[in-house]
Amino acid sequence: MSISFLPAAPWSGRSDPEDGSDALRLHQLVRDDAPRALIGFACEAGVARNKGRPGASKGPAALRSALANMAAPDGARIGQGGFSDLGTMVVEDDDLEMGQAALADRIASALSRHERVIVLGGGHETAFASYSGLAKAYPGKRIGIVNLDAHLDIRAVGESGGSSGTPFAQIRALAGDAFDYLVLGLAEESNTAALRDKARDWGVTTVSDHALIADARAADDAIRDLIGRNDLVYLTIDIDVLPHYQAPGVSAPAPRGVPLSVIEHLVGEVMRVTAELGRPLPLADAVELSPPHDRDSMTARSAALLIRRLLLA
């Protein structure tokens, strides 16, 4: 079969028992039935259809590896809190649509048991599966989408089907009038005039990379507005929003990008405002990592900083 499910493997990493009971790392916090969970989507098809650099299928394993040796947050204890690893959906060959449907079902099931699920892609085609699973888990709820990305990813679906460049057009077709989409870090030169015109026609709100470089808080009002008018929030992080020196190992490296410190602020602001306004943040994903192009695992390590916060903060 070209679609399979790989159960979670045991996590391992450095241990420092000589430093006492607080010397914990993330690999020591993995447990069954934790409040938050990871699930992987090992897929190459979306990036391949979008003519990007290969390697996205290796993303989930590389992100888990980058997370494993990170220090646990203050107060962490083995057997308490922590997070679960729900395994990885594996898509071989070009069976993208079947893989997305299978992942959506896994996500919907996971959200019945966990308060927050983080999906490790895969290319940005992961987003269509993520949103579909969230919509299944929360029928009738208005979902606001926050995308940290240099790209709009609203291309029309072509003859070969969806790709890493089409997920939010597909989501709009699914959501209809409830489609509410905010893109932070948009690079004008990486999106054609046709896509930018379509975004305006669809009511998509964008904050450019230039604006965020000049002022890390440039998107704060837009974030609050989107969260305030929706029932819950889906946060999706395309790692290529980061500059090439912080994220060399992606499908499309950014010549400019938005610095990691600013992206950390944006993730924190989404988490802060959802908590303040009482809007759930049940789902996030991190996509477009290409480990074969990742020097010194810098990209995976940068993304892992964001994932750690979403998992354990």
Residues 185-229: tens digit of each pLDDT? 999 999 999 999 999 999 999 999 999 999 999 999 999 999 999
User: Of 155, 102, 98, nearest to 124 (Cα)?
Assistant: 155
Residue 7 has what pLDDT? 97
Tell whether 151 is in a known binding site.
yes
236 membership: H or E segment, kind and range: strand 232-238
H helices of 44-137, in order, are 45-49, 59-68, 96-111, 126-137
pTM, two decimal places: 0.97
pLDDT at 91 over 90: yes
Side-chain half-sphere exposure of 35, counting CA atoms within 13 A? 10
Residue 80 has what pLDDT? 86
By CB atoms closer than 10 A (0-12, 13-18, 19+), residue 304 is buried
pLDDT at 33 over 80: yes
- CA-angle at 122, arms to 312 and 46, nearest 5°: 150
Tell me how far apart the alpha carbons of residues 113 and 111 are, in angstroms, rounded to a whole number.
Answer: 5
Does 53 or 108 have the greater pLDDT score? Answer: 108
What are the tokens at 273?
């405002």
Tell whether 95 is in a known binding site.
no
Tell me how far apart the alpha carbons of residues 157 and 165 are, in angstroms, rounded to a whole number.
Answer: 9
Phi, psi of 165 (to 5 degrees): -100, 0
- CA-angle at 212, arms to 208 and 214, nearest 5°: 115
Tell whether 153 is in a known binding site.
yes
Radius of gyration over every alpha carbon of the chain, rounded to an integer in angstroms: 18
Residue 68 has what pLDDT? 98
Tell me how far apart the alpha carbons of residues 125 and 105 are, in angstroms, rounded to a whole number.
Answer: 15
Tell me how far apart the alpha carbons of residues 208 and 40 are, in angstroms, rounded to a whole number.
Answer: 29
Q: CB of 148 within 8 A of CB of 302?
A: no
The CATH number linked to 54 is: 3.40.800.10
pLDDT at 173 over 90: yes
Number of domains in the chain: 1
Q: CB of 262 within 8 A of CB of 269?
A: no
Residue 78 has what pLDDT? 85
Residue 41 has what pLDDT? 98
Tell whether 210 is in a known binding site.
no
- Which tens digits make up the pLDDT trace of 39-79? 999 999 999 999 989 999 999 999 999 999 999 999 888 88
Tell whether 94 is in a known binding site.
no
Phi, psi of 154 (to 5 degrees): -120, 30
Domain residue limits at 292: 3-312
Tell me how far apart the alpha carbons of residues 5 and 60 are, in angstroms, rounded to a whole number.
Answer: 13
β-pair type (232-238, 143-148): parallel
H helices of the chain, in order, are 45-49, 59-68, 96-111, 126-137, 167-175, 193-201, 209-214, 220-228, 260-277, 298-312
At residue 86, the 3 state secondary structure works out as strand
Average pLDDT rounded to a whole number, residues 14-42: 95
pLDDT at 153 over 90: yes
What are the tokens at 168?
């939010």
Residue 79 has what pLDDT? 80
Residue 105 has what pLDDT? 98
Mean pLDDT, the chain, as a whole number? 96
Tell me how far apart the alpha carbons of residues 12 and 25 are, in angstroms, rounded to a whole number.
Answer: 10
As a whole-number percent, the residues of the chain with pLDDT over 90 amount to: 93
As a whole-number percent, the residues of the chain with pLDDT over 70 amount to: 100
Least confident interval from 1-5, 15-19, 167-171, 289-293: 1-5
Residue 84 has what pLDDT? 98
pLDDT at 255 over 80: yes
Tell whether 197 is in a known binding site.
no
Residue 1 has what pLDDT? 58
Residue 21 has what pLDDT? 87
Average pLDDT rounded to a whole number, residues 144-168: 96
Residue 75 has what pLDDT? 85
